[in-house]
Amino acid sequence: MELIKQTLLLLWKDLLLELRRRDSLLTMFFFGTLLLFVFHFSFDLPPDRVAEMAPALLWLAFLFTGTLGLTQLFQVERENHCFEALLLSPLDRGALFLAKSCFTLLLMFLVEAIVMPLFWILFNLQGWNLLPQLFLVTLLGTVGFCVLGTIMSAITLRARARELLLPLVLFPLMIPVILATIRCMENIMSAGELGAAWSWLRLLLGFDVIFVTVGILMFDRVIES
């Protein structure tokens, strides 16, 4: 349908632009890795404690890295006032929302796919077989982050101190996602499977579904000026 076609078109455009300049992806990747190093030096954990802290540390790293990506999200449209060109066209604003969210999600996915194994290596963790499950849970949490983050990125576009304001408004709203994802990951790492954390996973899914819907419905209100 029309919404999907337009979303894919915008996504194609954003990916092509990112491929050519690689602004966001590389910065995010290096920043994420840098954070891992900083954590290692700051926390100095004994090997048995690391597994406990792993989900939280990883999520902290992803949150900050993702925020970096979010502040850059609409930058490409601001050059040459391309944003106006998009608004002028019969573009469904929901498609813009979906495309930008998916774009952020893709960038985060790539960063996470590399940073997670890297974390395992740097911190000498065991349980490599658990990575796929952990990665899946992280991805679900990242969806929530990208969706809410895209909305917040859009509404703070013209604000002063934007780089500070964006995390300020986004992070409190992310608390359900942070809690749910970390609890699920802890369960997987300690018990090898989700087990008791199923309700957390459902919360996470609910969060994602609710805010994707809200985003699609409300995005035209978000970018009116």
Partner 1 sequence: MALISIAIGLYWGLVIAPPDAYQGEVQRIMYLHLPSILAAYLSYFLVFIGSCMYLWKRERRDDILAHSAAEIGVLFTALTIIEGSIWGRPTWGVWWTWDARLTLTAILLLIYTGYLMLRSLIENEDRAASAAAVLGVIGFLDIPLIHMSVYWWRTLHQPPSILQPNKAPWENIAWPLLIPLLINIAAFLLLLFYLLSLRYRLGEMRDQIRMRRLEQSP
Partner 2 sequence: MRLFIDKLSKAYGFLWAVRDLSVEVDSGDLIALLGPNGAGKTTLLKLLAGLITPTTGSIRFEGTSRTARLSRPRTGLLMPADHLYDNLTVRENLRFFLSLYGQPSALRMIDAALNEVALLERGAQFVGNLSSGMRCRLSIAKWKLLQPDVLLLDEPYGVLDGSGIDLLEAFLRHQAENGGIVVMASHHVSRALKLCSRALILKQGRLTFNEAKQQPWTSFDRAFGEFLPHGERWSS
Q: Which residues bind partner 2 (CB under 8 A)?
A: 2, 6, 9, 13, 16-17, 20-21, 76, 79-82, 84-91, 220, 224-225
Residue type, 55: P
- DSSP helix/strand/coil, 127: coil
20 contact, one of partner 1, partner 2, none, CB 5-8 Å limit per kind: partner 2
Tokens of 160: 């002063």
Closest distance of CB 39 from partner 1, Å: 22
* Cα gap 74→144, rounded to integer Å: 19
* Cα gap 140→188, rounded to integer Å: 15
* Cα gap 74→66, rounded to integer Å: 14
Closest distance of CB 222 from partner 1, Å: 5
User: b/e for 156-169, b at 16 or more Cβ within 10 A?
Assistant: bbeeeeeeeebbee
80 contact, one of partner 1, partner 2, none, CB 5-8 Å limit per kind: partner 2
218 contact, one of partner 1, partner 2, none, CB 5-8 Å limit per kind: partner 1
Give the nearer residue to partner 2 in terms of CB position, either 9 or 114: 9
Closest distance of CB 118 from partner 2, Å: 29
Chain positions contacting partner 1, by CB under 8 A: 148, 151-152, 155-156, 158-161, 165, 168-169, 171-173, 175-176, 179-180, 183, 199-200, 203, 206-207, 210-211, 214, 218, 221-222, 224-225
What secondary structure does DSSP assign to 8-65, as a single string? HHHHHHHHHHHHHH-HHHHHHHHHHHHHHHHHHHHH---HHHHHHHHHHHHHHHHHHH
Closest distance of CB 4 from partner 2, Å: 13
